Amino acid sequence: MAILILLNQVDPTLLESKLKQFDDCPEVRIYPDCGNKDDIECVIVWKHDEGVLNDFPNLKLIASYGAGVENILSDPSLPEGVPITRFVDDTLSDQMAEFVLAAILNHRLHLTYYREQQAASHWRPMDFLTGKNVTILGLGELGSTTAKLLDVNGYSVSGWSRSEKNIDNVKSYYGDDQLNASVAGADIVVCLLPLTPTTKHVLNADLFAAMKKGAFLINVGRGDHLKEDDLMNALSSEHLSGALLDVFATEPLPTDHPFWRHPKIHVTPHISSPTDKGRVARQILDNYNRIKSGADPLNQVDPKRSY
């Protein structure tokens, strides 16, 4: 019996070595060297090619390498009845919260601006931006941890989600009707939603129009949350003051993409919360063991909810 690692855009050997450090790890194979496909009981996936998960007749677990599972669920030929799990972990949430706080501080304190000024030996001090109202779209594990870190750092935090949430000091907006209201008072809007058919392109001209002039956008969800042309228009009309984008519809971001050279867009390479290889390895082995002993895996994805 074997586990197959099938990762695109991620080095599989790091995960392989972490898996093999555990005594209870079965044989590990790395795609496309699957060996006898009948042996494969668990596949660890990231950005797999459509259809390939159907090749393993004894598959018992499809485990996402990351928190997001839209790439798995968008495959129309997934094998029926095989549970799908995603990576849920405190380190993932804490890193994301830290990244968002850093992005907000960088924006409010103009740190990148000074780095650019340094290149021309310019001494141009500016006051901090005072606006500390933040709205987080998506209050799941990542969003709620981020909301709490911002709260203890003196930010006034609101959140928007599918259903009402009860988090200390975080104003909860929920449902489609309250989406625009949730961002109306925000100086900074952070997208941490799962990507589903209903959240695709949620960051669009309507939402930007509901945001106040000068607001800043941080997208650490998925590239397909954003309507790229609508952002370009909102920036050129100066309705939004800028954006930090960590995720893109096409990754890596193509070298000729206008975002690279846009003066108001800060591009980071999908790095807001990297998966801890040791922790994901342990979590997947635990789930594999649970399935082998007849128990349900933890952190199972509900395909009807899309996450």
Contact between 91 and 279 under an 8 Å Cβ cutoff? The reply is: yes
104, burial (CB in 10 Å: exposed 0-12, middle 13-18, buried 19+): buried
Which of these segments, 66-74, 188-196, 202-210, 260-268, binds ligand GLV (CB under 6 A)? 66-74
Structure tokens at 224: 């397909």
Closer to ligand GLV by Cβ: residue 34 or 192: 192
Applying CB under 6 A, which of residues 12, 68, 131, 138 lies at the interface with ligand GLV?
Answer: 68
Measured from the CB atom, is 66 or 131 closer to ligand GLV? Answer: 66
Q: Does 3 bind ligand GLV (CB under 6 A)?
A: no
Whole-angstrom distance, CA of residue 278 vs CA of residue 280 = 6
143 sits near ligand GLV (criterion: CB under 6 A): no
**Contact flag: residue 67 with ligand GLV (CB under 6 A):** yes
User: Closest by alpha carbon to 162, among 140, 146, 144, 147?
Assistant: 140
**Residue whose CB is less far from ligand GLV, 67 or 149:** 67
Stretch that binds ligand GLV, among 5-13, 60-68, 179-187, 277-285 (CB under 6 A): 60-68
| Shortest distance, position 126 Cβ to ligand GLV, whole Å | 33
Q: Which of residues 274-303 bind ligand GLV (CB under 6 A)?
A: 275
> Minimum distance from CB of 164 to ligand GLV (Å)?
25
Nearest residue to ligand GLV, by Cβ distance, number only: 66
The reply to whether 144 sits near ligand GLV by the rule CB under 6 A is no
Candidates 62-70, 131-139, 249-257, 290-298; binding stretch for ligand GLV (CB under 6 A): 62-70
Please, which residue, 12 or 66, has the CB nearer to ligand GLV? Answer: 66
Q: Which stretch binds ligand GLV (CB under 6 A): 14-22, 25-33, 63-71, 252-260?
A: 63-71
Torsion of CA 174, 179, 181, 186, to 10 degrees: 100
Question: Cβ neighbours of residue 198 under 8 Å, at least 6 residues apart?
Answer: 306
Q: Which is nearer to ligand GLV, 192 or 231 (CB)?
A: 192
Among residues 136 and 235, whose Cβ is nearest to ligand GLV? 136
Burial of residue 271 (CB within 10 Å: 0-12, 13-18, 19+) is exposed
Handedness of CA 112, 116, 118, 119 (dihedral sign): positive
Separation between Cα atoms, residue 143 and residue 69, nearest integer Å:
16
Q: Which residues are catalytic?
A: 222, 270
Interacting residues with ligand GLV between 242 and 281 (CB under 6 A): 275
To ligand GLV, the closest distance from the beta carbon of 275 in angstroms equals 6
Q: Least separation, in Å, of the C-beta of 110 and ligand GLV? A: 28
Sheet strands (E) in 37-174 = 40-46, 61-64, 84-85, 133-137, 156-161, 170-174
User: Residue 92 CB, nearest distance to ligand GLV (Å)?
Assistant: 6
Question: How far, in Å, CA of 27 to CA of 226, rounded?
Answer: 40
| Contact by Cβ (8 Å): 266, 70 | no
Q: Are 301 and 70 in contact (CB under 8 A)?
A: no
Phi and psi angles of residue 167, each rounded to the nearest 5 degrees, phi first: -125, 130
DSSP class of residue 76 equals: T
Which of residues 12, 66, 138, 297 is near ligand GLV by CB under 6 A? Answer: 66
Binding site for ligand GLV (CB under 6 A): 66-68, 275
